[in-house]
Structure 1
Amino acid sequence: MSDAPLSPTLKELPKVSPDLKSELQDFNTEKLKNAETNEKNVLPTAEVVEQERVHHNLLKGVEGFDKDSMKHTETNEKNPLPDPEAIELEKGQQQLIAGIENFDAKSLKPTETQEKNPLPTKEVIEAEKSA
């Protein structure tokens, strides 16, 4: 069976009331007011036309480009590897960081902190005041 919509039969069509039907049949088109149609067709400006022309020419140039006119070139891929000095320097930095991260604070000896902040004697204070 096709998927095209079927036209409704005469019985399936909506019924129009007899009053409306008689009004439509007796309608006089001369009673309508005369109106003039104003067609508004906005033309593009010169700038828009120029932009479209440039765009069209650009697309035309890309579509019609001849690949045969190009020269074949060899691509030189450069992947500079670090020199041995840079590798050794980076290994040294990684070992230093690993040593700091893995440092065991339990291996330190216990110590006592002694504050050494000698206060001046009375004689030194009096000597400074008199000076």
Structure 2
Amino acid sequence: MSCTIPAAPAPPSLKDLPKVAGDFKHELEGFKSSNLKNADTVEKVVLPSAEDVAAEKTEKALIEGIERFDTSKLKHTLTQEKNPLPDKEVVQQEKTHQTLLNGVAQFDKTTMKHAQTTEKVVLPDQQVIEQEKGQRQLISGIENFDNTKLKHAETQEKNPLPTKETIDQEKSA
């Protein structure tokens, strides 16, 4: 392989060079290259590691295996569609549903005729009104109940609890 080296560009003219400050220019003119230190140049050649080479070889082997695969080794199997395509009836139902939705969405209201609406107010009959009055009177009677109208009553025990003496007698018997 031969590679061509591009020609170096022409040096710029003095007019094109940037202006340099005076003290910096004086320092550059008095510069001695003997003041520079020698440095060893180190070439860095990065070679692939053993793992990289092994990985590349296995990758190549896999690709070659895929390219040279013999399809005659495959066995024929029957495929079962898990998601079959819809039949004509399903497609037709979906189309009619879609046209109905489009018809509702794009309905022209100007073709409608104006209609008068009449509100019918149904009043409750006399029985319902009387029943409601009775319930209101009952509720107000409960809310405004006067405890002073109650009569005092004495309670009499008809089945008194046994005394301690009777309990002891029954235990001893």
TM-score interval, smaller chain: 0.3 to 0.5
Question: TM-score with structure 2 length normalisation?
Answer: 0.38
Question: TM-score with structure 1 length normalisation?
Answer: 0.47
